[in-house]
Amino acid sequence: MKTEKNPQKTTLIYLLISVGIVVLLNAFIFPAFLRPQITEADYGTFLTQVEQGHVKSVEIREDEIGFTVKDEKGNDKLYVTGRLDDPELVDRLYQAKVEFSKVIPRENSPLVNLLLTWVLPFLVFIAIVQLLSGRLLKKLGGGAGPMKFGKSNAKIYVEAQTGKTFGDVAGQDEAKEALQEVVDFLHNPQKYREIGAKIPKGVLLVGPPGTGKTLLAKAVAGESKVPFFSISGSEFVEMFVGMGAARVRDLFKQATAKAPCIVFIDEIDTIGKSRNASGGGIGGNDEREQTLNQLLTEMDGFDADKGVVILAATNRPETLDKALLRPGRFDRRVPVELPDLAGREAILRVHARKVKMGEGIDFNAIARATPGASGADLANIVNEAALRAVKLGRSHVLQSDLEESVEVVIAGYQRKNAVISMKDKLTIAYHEVGHALVAAKQSHSAPVHKITIVPRTSGALGYTMQIDEGEQVLMTKEQAFDKISTYMGGRAAEELVFQTVTSGASNDIEQATKIARAMVTRFGMSEQFDMMALETVNNPYLGGDTSLLVSAVTSAKIDEEVLRIIKSAHERASRILEENKQKLHELAKYLFEKETISGEEFMAVLGA
């Protein structure tokens, strides 16, 4: 596949250079070449030449006098002198039999001056630059030539050159099953025509960032072995009005010519946002709306039986225009969700194929340690593990590399040179042990996997990692309350041991409040409000803001209920630590000395 160039950017640079050249030519070069060689002379020399009969002709202008003198070789030389108040000049010229005339000043039209001095040279240089830029881009391998207004920038992958198949996609079995129909149609369209079935013109891939929407589109093309057009929605929108619509027309024209094929539009929400959202008129984006209208028209204008299938991806489906989602357009929606436990393990194995792995790798443990991770996150974890193995001088990846890479992705790199006082280090040790001890003494908490007080680049001075034994799909009220109590364990340990509090619990407070508010407003886990919906999430795929659906009075009551839950959890954490005060001191001392302990070590000390 050839490297794609950007002809617009290259040509814009050439245009700017052309403008500079035109300015220089008008200011310095043209005047020097167009003006004949003229020698300045004083008025006395002029009169002497007239009296001696050497002057051939004279032109009298407003502020100067130009005259022609024949030299010894018979050649005409031009001279110019300043004009003085000389009433006898005409008589002298007449007596010397010199041809003379007075030039009547006449100004050219401003339009003519503009055309001759600016427009014409500029057009000439534009033509030259277009020719040169086309040749240059072809030499560079772009083959794009001069700027082609309205041309689509879609990358075209011929046949199976995407290099991806469904075997490269893991953790998205439902999405692959839904897209298998598209592959089957492109392979065997006749059996669909015989029964009268029509394949959807447009398929919308919807899911959070990093879940593999683009990979799925390439895999469909790879399985189908048909040309694959790939373009981002942002590439349609230009500063020139009508350019996006022209590019849409050109894209569909190319796709129809290469049918059967697949057209993939990534981030379609860039051009497909609801037209009601912009409000139209003032503040609206006419160029984006024209592009969207053209896309809708093109989708209505081609027949799906020709074998042109449009795939699009977005993580903001709620912003798309309803006209784009109606039957006959993007009427098939394929969810591409975050992978579950089995899916994460399968994804890790897919990415591990390209990396030399050591013996005894437990992908299931890594998958359990990364709930909520996307495919892109898991690929990054495997890559970080490979980088760590190289840094440590090994030729293969070990389990420890993968475990450390999980922490790197979650909390950042270790700050080994961070300077922390002994008092603060001891406080952090008690804080983290407080979390772990409260979690261990509750029946609905996940087991403790690791405790560390080594600072990380994310700003964390330490953390306690818990890993569930299996995949948790639902969360009970008891589990939610235990999570809040675990978050309160760090602050409760500080209060119990040091009789003061620090700023180290800021993230704990934030997370605990978020869970408590969700229990009240979204999960229906409050006796006061029962199952009443109190808020809504604007964008679930991006973890967007929540909007309250209640009055100010009810909002105040919600805050009171959230505070009650947090206070109850805080009291439970304090009670657990008070009952296990001796173990708290013992574990904090052990963690202070070792800095990092595993869940097995923690449970061994706790059970001793």
Q: What is the CATH number of the domain that holds 266?
A: 3.40.50.300
Domain-ending residue, one of 317, 335, 353: 335
Cα gap 270→234, rounded to integer Å: 6
The tokens for 551 are 């009055």
- Say if residue 386 is in the same domain as residue 439: no
Q: Which pLDDT belongs to residue 378?
A: 93
Q: Is position 390 within any domain?
A: yes
Contact call for residues 429 and 602 (beta carbons, < 8 A): no
- Say if residue 206 is in the same domain as residue 83: no
Cα gap 265→233, rounded to integer Å: 6
Pairing relationship of beta strands 155-157 and 228-232 according to DSSP bridges: antiparallel
Max CA separation in the chain (angstroms): 134
Residue 268's nearest CA partner among 244, 220, 234, 218 is 234
- Say if residue 172 is in the same domain as residue 309: yes
Contact call for residues 313 and 267 (beta carbons, < 8 A): yes
Residue 265's nearest CA partner among 242, 290, 248 is 248
CATH of the domain at 588: 1.20.58.760
Q: Is position 75 within any domain?
A: yes
Cα gap 258→159, rounded to integer Å: 11
- Say if residue 124 is in the same domain as residue 171: no
Q: Which pLDDT belongs to residue 28?
A: 54
Query: What Cα–Cα distance (Å) separates residue 606 from each residue in 466, 482, 502?
Result: 16, 19, 26
Q: Is position 388 within any domain?
A: yes
Whether 194 is catalytic: no
How many Cβ atoms from other residues are within 10 Å of residue 21's Cβ? 16
Number of structural domains found in the chain: 4
The tokens for 221 are 């093309």
Cα gap 466→468, rounded to integer Å: 7
Q: Which pLDDT belongs to residue 8?
A: 52
Q: Is position 128 within any domain?
A: yes
Question: Amino acid identity of 187?
Answer: H
- Say if residue 168 is in the same domain as residue 136: no
Q: Which pLDDT belongs to residue 523?
A: 92
Q: What is the 3-class SS of 118-134, one letter each residue?
A: HHHHHHHHHHHHHHHHH
- Say if residue 447 is in the same domain as residue 568: yes
pLDDT in tens, 430-447: 999 999 999 999 988 889
- Tokens 């309350």 belong to 481
Contact call for residues 447 and 600 (beta carbons, < 8 A): no
CATH of the domain at 362: 1.10.8.60
Question: Amino acid identity of 116?
Answer: L
Q: Is position 282 within any domain?
A: yes
Q: Is position 417 within any domain?
A: no
Q: What is the 3-class SS of 60-93, one letter each residue?
A: ECCCEEEEEEECCCCCEEEEEEECCCCCCHHHHH
Query: What Cα–Cα distance (Å) separates residue 510 from each residue in 141, 275, 284, 491, 517?
Result: 53, 37, 38, 13, 11
Q: What is the 3-class SS of 334-361, one letter each residue?
A: EECCCCCHHHHHHHHHHHHCCCCECCCC
- Say if residue 356 is in the same domain as residue 314: no
Q: Is position 353 within any domain?
A: yes
Catalytic residue among 223, 235, 289, 432: 432
Contact call for residues 531 and 542 (beta carbons, < 8 A): no
- By residue count, the chain amounts to 608
Residue 329's nearest CA partner among 305, 306, 298, 289 is 298
Domain that holds residue 115: 1-148
CATH of the domain at 90: 3.30.720.210
Residue 599 region by backbone torsions, left for phi larger than 0, else alpha for psi between -120 and 50, else beta = alpha
Domain-ending residue, one of 91, 124, 148: 148
Residue 205's nearest CA partner among 158, 249, 264 is 264
Burial of 414 (0-12, 13-18, 19+ CB in 10 A): middle
How many Cβ atoms from other residues are within 10 Å of residue 208's Cβ? 18
Domain-ending residue, one of 335, 369, 403: 335
- Say if residue 60 is in the same domain as residue 136: yes
How many Cβ atoms from other residues are within 10 Å of residue 497's Cβ? 19
The tokens for 97 are 């039999």
- Say if residue 94 is in the same domain as residue 71: yes
Q: Is position 416 within any domain?
A: no
Helix, strand or coil for residue 106? coil
Burial of 94 (0-12, 13-18, 19+ CB in 10 A): exposed
- Say if residue 328 is in the same domain as residue 370: no
- Say if residue 451 is in the same domain as residue 383: no
The tokens for 432 are 């983290």
- Say if residue 595 is in the same domain as residue 573: yes
Pairing relationship of beta strands 308-314 and 202-206 according to DSSP bridges: parallel
**Weakly modelled stretches of the chain, pLDDT under 50:** 1-5, 104, 136-150, 160, 279-284
